[in-house]
Structure 1
Amino acid sequence: MRDRLSKVIALAHLKLALRATIAGIVTYLLAEQFALPNGYWAVLTAVLVVQATLGASLSVAIDRALGTLAGGVVGVAGAMLAGKSPLETLLVLSVALFIAAALAARSTSFKLAPVTVVIVMLAHPGDVAPWLSGLTRVAEIALGGVVGLLCAILILPERALGKMFPYCAKALRLTAQLLDLGRGGLLGQGIDPSVIDRLNGGARLALRAADLRLVEVRAEQAGRLTTQTDPAPVVRGARRLWHSAIILLRNADRPLDEPVAGLVSATLTAATTALSAQMSAIADRLDGQPVADLATRADAASAAVAALEARVEELNAQGAFGAVGAETLTALFSAVSACVHMRENLEELAARLAEVQGEAP
């Protein structure tokens, strides 16, 4: 029952809901205290600013502040220039919207500018001076932004790094499956293109999500909300491993010639199995699970890949590949090269992960 409930709504979802609720309530009370004419804008901003991570919250707060400020300036200027006739207002509104929309098109940080222009120029015209309307709107957005950001920082804060690593772990696990399937294809065990497409698609989406979280991590670093070492090398390492698996898979749809497959089957299987085991161990570490034998798995993978290289070099020196077709040779040497690259990338990934997690490489 507990597992089923966690699939519907996780603890992270409940934390986010709590932060957003507190932000909205606190902002509403402050808006009432300061008698803001449109306090709902402050409440709306506070709720929108509270995101899943600190980095995302900071980015949203900055974007809303910049958009509101730019839109307020343009809107106030437009309201002061607009005449009393609807036609004059329409002409000035068109120019003001064009300027604000151009700013929003140039940078997403100004995406709220056109909305603010419309509010300042058209909301309750004639009730208050245009400059006062613009200043009030900026104050309301600022209040909501500050409260929302403080709630994101102080109430059960979530670091972007904790959201990024699981996507890297997912990409590694899918890459390990791709590696095993590629080995099976080379050794004549068959390969299903639909499965390959599904795994590749999943790895691609996971790495794309990791890239988005990386942006949030850097926002936290820029805002001095964290002193975390830049985790970009971890994402790059996961992507390089995926690319190495793709290299192996390019030639796995046609099995190696039987004589060659029999000669390299044992060492190729040992190498890919050890690499998959090391990838799985690093994925567990990325998910926050304790992995006691990571160094042992790394040594085993390194030894297995070295044995594969030595075996292929030995066979080549003995002339065992003299009558082998070009396709088989291309597939074999591509597989060996992919395994070597994976070993190197896994070593680099483990070192960079240790740095980010504050351990000795």
Structure 2
Amino acid sequence: MSAPPPDSDLPAGAAPGAKTAPPRSPPGLIDRLRGFLGWKHAKLGLRATVAAVAAYGLAYGLALPNGYWAVLTAILVVQSTIGASLSVAMDRAFGTVVGGVIGVAAADLAGPSVPLTFVALAVGVLLTSTLAARYASFKLAPVTVGIVLLSDPTHAEPLLSGLHRVMEIAIGGVVGVACAILILPERALVNLFPHCATALRLSGRLLELGRDGLLGRGLDPAVIDRLNAGARKALRAADARVADARAERVGRLSSHADPAPVVRTCRRLWHSVIILLRGADRPLAEPLAARIGPHLDAAVTTLRAHMEALAARLDGGEAADFGQTVAAARSAVAALEAEAERLNAEGALDAASGETLAALFAAVSASSHVEENLEDLAARLDEVTGAEG
């Protein structure tokens, strides 16, 4: 009997005759569009469209001379969440009122004189730009000064010009906020918590890398730098959205507790992981690593599982065995601390160098702090989600 022909299409290392999965076809145009544009983007587009049309209709009905300012304001005010829309609307309102008042006063003082107009423009922009540099809420004030002061070269009716501008901005702001609240609304926490979840997962990976370095399994500084940069970026993004969540609370559009403690606890946890990393580039001696390694492995594994469970909650899910995850992490960290104390009591650390002792106890302390911060994070998260419910 002749041998079967060789399976020339098998991947390297596969047994002859083995079945392989069919090659994946490249993603089509529809799949690419789904990955590029999701339902979240479509909702924002719908809100902005309705806001623009409604603002223009109101401006046209009120016969405002420059209704496009109402349209532009409505589009700018509509953001991905209610809190962000409120923040933008308040900023534009503050800037418009202040800029309008200063612009009207400058136009009255300058009159039809061109030289005085130059002086008034310089003084008005200087005052409002300085104010905007100190308070970001007034960043529209210099623009409004220029519009009110220069829109009517004769300065015949500067007060009316300023009132028109304020009305146009006000209409756009009200319409934008109304659309954010009424048309498929999203809370600020929807955009805030996923950033915290990202920071938590990256911290878990950093914890594992620090453990591996300490136990002599290798350490790549480039990977650590990349993960640290990602955690830092995620936490900064979460910080930026805390103000949006607070705006919802001030406007009584949400009943959740202040989410800032959640972000602070995530940052504190990340800093605890960094403590372990500081000594991870100096592996422990083999006898010491053999004693402490199993306990450190267990602590890091359970802590990482705890992080993943909390990250799932931050992403809107719920871990079914969350209580068991918490208990396992607490038990493993306690065993690690007990082993470190046992090594010290037995004199196994007497001959260790200062660097070794610092790295060992930094790892034990960091594990304990991570476990404490995880429990604190769960409590802070319960406060926010419990109040919201």
**TM-score for both structures, normalised by structure 1:** 0.97
Q: Give the secondary structure class of the aligned counterpart of 1:253.
A: coil
Following the alignment from structure 1 to structure 2, what is the Cα–Cα distance between the partners of residues 93 and 50? 31
Name which one, 1 or 2, has greater alpha-carbon Rg. 2
Q: 1:230 to 1:85 in 2, by over 3 A?
A: closer
Partner of 1:139: 167
- Give the C-alpha shift of residue 70 in structure 1: 0.7
Provide structure 2 residue ranges, at least 5 long, that are not aligned to the other structure.
1-26
Equivalent in 13, 17, 23 of residue 51 of structure 2? 23
Q: Does 1:302 align with 2:349?
A: no
Residue 301 of structure 2 aligns with an amino acid whose one-letter code is T
Following the alignment from structure 1 to structure 2, what is the Cα–Cα distance between the partners of residues 105 and 315? 58
Q: 1:351 to 1:83 in 2, by over 3 A?
A: closer
Equivalent in 264, 280, 284 of residue 236 of structure 1? 264
CA contact (8 A) 2:265 2:376 kept: yes
Partner of 1:277: 305
Partner of 2:60: 32
- Give the C-alpha shift of residue 127 in structure 1: 7.3
Following the alignment from structure 1 to structure 2, what is the Cα–Cα distance between the partners of residues 126 and 85? 9
Larger mean Cα displacement after TM superposition, 79-88 or 241-250: 79-88
Partner of 1:73: 101
Q: Give the secondary structure class of the aligned counterpart of 1:135.
A: helix
- Give the C-alpha shift of residue 158 in structure 1: 1.1
Following the alignment from structure 2 to structure 1, what is the Cα–Cα distance between the partners of residues 340 and 372? 19
- Give the C-alpha shift of residue 3 in structure 1: 5.9
CA deviations over 1:301-325 (Å, ceiling 9, x no partner):
0000011111111111111112122
Partner of 2:345: 317
Overall identity of the aligned pairs, in %: 62
Residue 176 of structure 2 aligns with an amino acid whose one-letter code is G
Q: Give the secondary structure class of the aligned counterpart of 1:358.
A: helix
**TM-score for both structures, normalised by structure 2:** 0.90
- Give the C-alpha shift of residue 237 in structure 1: 1.4
Q: 1:127 to 1:34 in 2, by over 3 A?
A: farther
RMSD: 1.3
- Give the C-alpha shift of residue 83 in structure 1: 3.6
Partner of 1:57: 85
Following the alignment from structure 1 to structure 2, what is the Cα–Cα distance between the partners of residues 38 and 327? 71
For residues 65-104 of structure 1, the aligned pairs below 5 Å read 65-104=93-132
Aligned residues: 359
Q: Give the secondary structure class of the aligned counterpart of 2:386.
A: coil
Following the alignment from structure 1 to structure 2, what is the Cα–Cα distance between the partners of residues 101 and 255? 55
CA deviations over 1:46-93 (Å, ceiling 9, x no partner):
100001111111111111111111111111111111143321211122
CA contact (8 A) 2:204 2:304 kept: yes
Which structure is higher in helix share?
Answer: 1
